Amino acid sequence: MTAALAVTGLSAGYGSAPVIRGISFEVLPGEIVALLGRNGAGKTTTLLTISGLVRARAGEVSVGGKAVAAHHPRAVTRAGVGHVPEERALFANLSVRDNLAVAGARRARDLRRVLELFPELERLLDRRSGLLSGGEQQMLALARAVHQRPKVLLVDEMSLGLAPKICQRLVDILRRLATEQGLAVVLVEQHLFLALEAADRAYVLHRGEITLSGTRAELAERRAELEAAYLGSV
């Protein structure tokens, strides 16, 4: 099967220091893959580089088997890559309805499709997004990204500051999209246990390099090693 997303030898950084070095991984259609690692390991930088928002110094990104032009965020979006950044990038002064409209969900039919997946947003449609709870904001951020019908969705620190129940609900939505629509998901997570439950496979980043990878079952068996790698002691 052709990978929905293939990253080969990706290197990037800010200023002169490299932050990620020779990162390679792939995600198949319908798969949820977690990128794990401690603070500063380079997870966010990896996502930003895939999206073309940070300049790649080396390496390639392919979507559905086709190389996408480096440094062109719009080309990456057009190729089918959605990105939910850590800060969620909502318009705080706009209502939920208008935030969805800005993302292209203007017609009643579009809105119905969004609300079918995210029914919790219905009673919040006229509320300013800045007044939503963290979980509701994250749901709106996901809804906006999903509305664009990406083939690949990059989700950064979805669980940050959210209650476990809400995280589980968001993971369930991603799983449904993966199963029903073949969406490929890259989940950047600091929360090791949530990620291991949510993902089919995971890669561990340590100081900008992938040091460990495996399926959920393989990683569950190598729990001690995983925790050591995660804590940065190997």
**Positions in the binding site for ligand ATP (CB under 6 A):** 14, 19, 37, 39-45, 190
What is the per-residue DSSP string for 191-213? -HHHHHHH-SEEEEEETTEEEEE
Least Å from the CB of residue 141 to ligand ATP: 16
Sheet containing strand 5-14, strands side by side: 17-27, 5-14, 56-63, 66-67
177 or 185: whose CB is closer to ligand ATP?
Answer: 185
Least Å from the CB of residue 82 to ligand ATP: 18
Least Å from the CB of residue 142 to ligand ATP: 19
36 or 124: whose CB is closer to ligand ATP?
Answer: 36
CA dihedral defined by 169, 171, 173, 176, rounded to 10 degrees?
Answer: -130
96 or 155: whose CB is closer to ligand ATP?
Answer: 155
19 or 155: whose CB is closer to ligand ATP?
Answer: 19
11 or 190: whose CB is closer to ligand ATP?
Answer: 190
41 or 81: whose CB is closer to ligand ATP?
Answer: 41
- Hey, what amino acid is at 6? A
Least Å from the CB of residue 44 to ligand ATP: 3
Q: How is residue 203 written in tokens?
A: 């890669």
Distance CA(233)–CA(76), nearest Å, equals 35
Apex 169 CA angle, 167 and 105, nearest 5 = 105
Query: In DSSP terms, which residues pair with 12 in a beta bridge?
Result: 20, 56
Distance CA(86)–CA(53), nearest Å, equals 14
